[in-house]
Structure 1
Amino acid sequence: MTFDRAFLSTWHTILTSKTLLSTMLLAVVLYAFYYPAPYSHEAPRKLPVVVVDQDDSALSRTIILDLDATRAISVASVVRNLATARADMREGKADGVILISDGLERQLRAGTPGSGIAVWVNATYLLRASTIGEAVTAVIQNIARTRLLPGGQISRGGPPVTVVKEPLFNRTGGYKGYVFPSVAVIIIQQTLLFGAATFMGNRRRTGAWQMGAAEFAGTLAAFSSVGVVGCYFLFGLIFWVQGVPVDGNILGMIVVVPIFAVAVAALGLLVGSAFDRGERATYILGPTSVPFFFLTGATYPLDQMPRFLSAFSHLIPSTSGVHTFVPLNQMRATLGDVTLPLLMLVVLAIGYSALACLRIVTFALWSASTAAADA
């Protein structure tokens, strides 16, 4: 089969197969709207907390009112007993406990140590915990600066130090703007990987998985083009629709996207050639999505992981993909800024294409020649 016939035949198979169509095209559209939906508020809002007010002063009441007025915190109740508050948190009635200790206002005005504010949070939910801590810090700093004493100064202290945080790239500091650009790379990889592997598994079941060089090249090009379309759809239209912060290097994206798509498509064809039927691709590859996301380094630095995990992660196209696409999309990086992950993508694209060709084409020729010799 010629290159162009293989290319068109593969696209025809994708568009006429319910499994491939839903896995490779419709799933990308679904995830593009489904995944960001829970994070439309960008940051947690009105997290319930219990305040233990042991000071019972004008200052403590001001602190409570200001806490409840923030976007992040909702004061569920005010109690005098710390044990009661911590019991409420253990029972899931609150995400945190804020203790305003006895004598806080008096000691702050006198400038003596011994009293303060303590915060307990449910660290099982890291984002909630950090949000509560940041809200409490902001309220206390604001009160110390503007309300504690005329002129905004604490007794025996100089002018308060003002710390201004200016987030770069993800200007809202929101969760969607942080996580979705990385997840988008996983979405493209996994849908393309599943589809290519399912395609090859189905061909193995029918005994037609071995190809000539031109047919293999056309098939690889067809699946790669699906990945290219998915990348441009997510990185272009969907990022704009979802309000994801974008400051992109468009020309850089045009260069890198096909390389990433070839690497994933070739890996899918290679892995799929080991399955005796298409359904096994979903069963076996399905559980890999979450581990692959964690191995991108988006949630925890790669250099802090065990070395064998860090080394293994670079065999997955999404790892280099995230470290290439996120800077190009969100940070206006140049190709020179992403040289190392880009070179890794090139190596993966060439390596997986060569291995897939060796498995599907060269092995097929060897099998055919062996069968002819035996005959």
Structure 2
Amino acid sequence: MTILQAFIFTLRTILTTRPIASTLILAVVLYGFFYPAAYHSEVASQLPIVVVDQDQSPLSRNIIAKISLLRAVNIVQQTSNFAEAEQMIKRQQADAIFLIPSHLESNVLRGQNSGLALYLSGAYLIRTREIGSGLASSIKASIAEQLKPLLQTTHIEPSLNLYEYPLYNPLGGYGSYIFPAVAALIVQQTLLLGVSFLIVSLKQKQFRFNLTNLTGITLACSLIGILSCLYYFGFVYWYQDYPRDANLPALLLATPVFVMAVVSISLWLGSIFDRPERPAQVLTFTSVPFFFLTGASWPLEAMPQWMSLSAWIIPSTAGVRQFIQLNQMHASLSDIGMNLLILIMITVVFATLAYRRLIRN
């Protein structure tokens, strides 16, 4: 069997074996639509809050009126009883309490500390972040509007405003942040499951591996992985309108390097497993820890040293970083050089291990 024959044989086997085809092809396509759907609105909106107004002044009413216009929040109740609002948080009927204390207006006019307080439910970090940022701007606008006549008569200069411009994610959307990090992980997990399943199935059929046909198998599996990456980085990013400023030549070089690293590990895992169902039993649960170890949800630098160092054994750690840099930041090859080097080392090590187990044994 030549390399080309092994290549065609592998593609035919993948397409005609339902579990492999559903993992390597169908799952990749469906995830491109299913996963981003949950984050379609990009930013959290209409989050329930309780307003505790103990001042009952024109300023407090003005603040509440402006808050009610915010897309991020929904005032579910106004009360003067803080204990009642606290019970609503405990019953998960609201995500935050906004307290307007008594004598707010008089304190502000005298230049004293207003004592405004915002109590956020830390159990929902992303949701409460939206509430905090939305309320802060609304409160500042309300107070500035109320004090405008006073500022004009006393010639007090208003404080300078600070404007924030999110780089590489202009909307500040959660979907635009999370999916570019998850896309490479989806490709990795589908390859790990599908390719290792393929190798175990071939072993059970007494398939005789040699360097030639193993090369053809590797190239066929890598082609599917490369097409999966390009499907996400090209079509899905465009369809979902995610921020993109790709360095295309560097991306076309970095993608095969990442895919080859994943396929090499998959071949090695396939040489170890004894049954076709074993990859699913062992690898399915690894998606969450692998994502955590990419550093996308929590910086690697803040993890224990043994954990941050061992994370680089997993291709997705270097892969996620390099693809975010290439797709969102228009990074050059020199910017991702260390990531590429790590992926090449992973490829060499695990391809050698897979060769020793599949051919020499």
Instruction: Name the TM tier (shorter chain).
Output: over 0.9
Partner of 1:40: 40
Partner of 1:165: 164
CA distance in 1, matches of 2:357, 2:81: 70
Helix, strand or coil: the match of 2:97? strand
Structure 1: unaligned runs, 5 residues or longer: 364-375
CA contact (8 A) 1:109 1:155 kept: no
The answer to whether structure 1 residue 301 and structure 2 residue 280 are counterparts is: no
From 283, 286, 289, the counterpart of 1:288: 286
1:18-33 counterparts in 2 under 5 A? 18-33=18-33
> What does the per-residue CA deviation read over 1:216-270, in whole Å, with 9 as the maximum and x for residues that have no partner?
1111111111100100111001100011100110001100001111111111111
CA distance in 1, matches of 2:112, 2:152: 15
Partner of 2:57: 57
CA contact (8 A) 1:144 1:153 kept: no
The answer to whether structure 1 residue 130 and structure 2 residue 129 are counterparts is: yes
1:113-262 counterparts in 2 under 5 A? 113=113, 115-150=114-149, 158-208=157-207, 210-262=208-260
From 250, 268, 271, the counterpart of 2:269: 271
Helix, strand or coil: the match of 2:171? coil
Shift of 1:151: 7.2
Helix, strand or coil: the match of 1:19? helix
CA distance in 2, matches of 1:36, 1:103: 47
CA contact (8 A) 1:153 1:160 kept: no
CA distance in 1, matches of 2:82, 2:97: 8
CA distance in 2, matches of 1:150, 1:167: 34
> What does the per-residue CA deviation read over 1:153-172, in whole Å, with 9 as the maximum and x for residues that have no partner?
79795322200001111111
Helix, strand or coil: the match of 1:337? coil
CA distance in 1, matches of 2:278, 2:68: 52
> What does the per-residue CA deviation read over 1:173-228, in whole Å, with 9 as the maximum and x for residues that have no partner?
000110000110111100111101111121233333x5101111111111111100
Helix, strand or coil: the match of 2:307? helix
Shift of 1:272: 1.5
> What does the per-residue CA deviation read over 1:55-98, in whole Å, with 9 as the maximum and x for residues that have no partner?
11111111111111111011101001101001001101101111
Shift of 1:146: 3.1
Helix, strand or coil: the match of 1:336? coil
Q: TM-score, normalised by structure 1?
A: 0.93
CA contact (8 A) 1:50 1:85 kept: yes
CA contact (8 A) 1:50 1:76 kept: yes
From 339, 357, 360, the counterpart of 2:358: 360
Instruction: Return the letter of the residue paired with 2:217.
Output: T
The answer to whether structure 1 residue 74 and structure 2 residue 81 are counterparts is: no
Instruction: Return the letter of the residue paired with 2:28.
Output: V
Partner of 1:333: 331
Helix, strand or coil: the match of 1:248? coil
CA contact (8 A) 2:63 2:143 kept: no
Shift of 1:360: 1.2
Helix, strand or coil: the match of 2:38? helix
Helix, strand or coil: the match of 2:322? helix
CA distance in 1, matches of 2:50, 2:107: 23
> Which deviates more, 194-203 or 254-263?
194-203
CA contact (8 A) 2:264 2:347 kept: yes
Structure 2: unaligned runs, 5 residues or longer: none
CA contact (8 A) 1:314 1:320 kept: yes
Helix, strand or coil: the match of 1:74? strand
Q: How many residues align?
A: 361
Shift of 1:147: 3.1
From 307, 310, 323, the counterpart of 2:308: 310
* Residues 155 and 212 (structure 1), Cα distance of their counterparts in 2 relative to 1, 3 Å cut: farther
Q: TM-score, normalised by structure 2?
A: 0.97
Helix, strand or coil: the match of 2:98? strand
Helix, strand or coil: the match of 2:335? helix
CA distance in 2, matches of 1:213, 1:22: 28
CA contact (8 A) 2:265 2:351 kept: yes
CA distance in 2, matches of 1:175, 1:151: 40
CA contact (8 A) 1:239 1:246 kept: yes
CA contact (8 A) 2:247 2:332 kept: yes
Helix, strand or coil: the match of 2:78? strand
CA contact (8 A) 2:197 2:276 kept: yes
Shift of 1:142: 1.6
Shift of 1:150: 2.2
Instruction: Return the letter of the residue paired with 2:96.
Output: G
Instruction: Return the letter of the residue paired with 2:59.
Output: L
From 319, 322, 329, the counterpart of 2:320: 322
For the aligned residue pairs, the C-alpha RMSD in angstroms reads 1.5
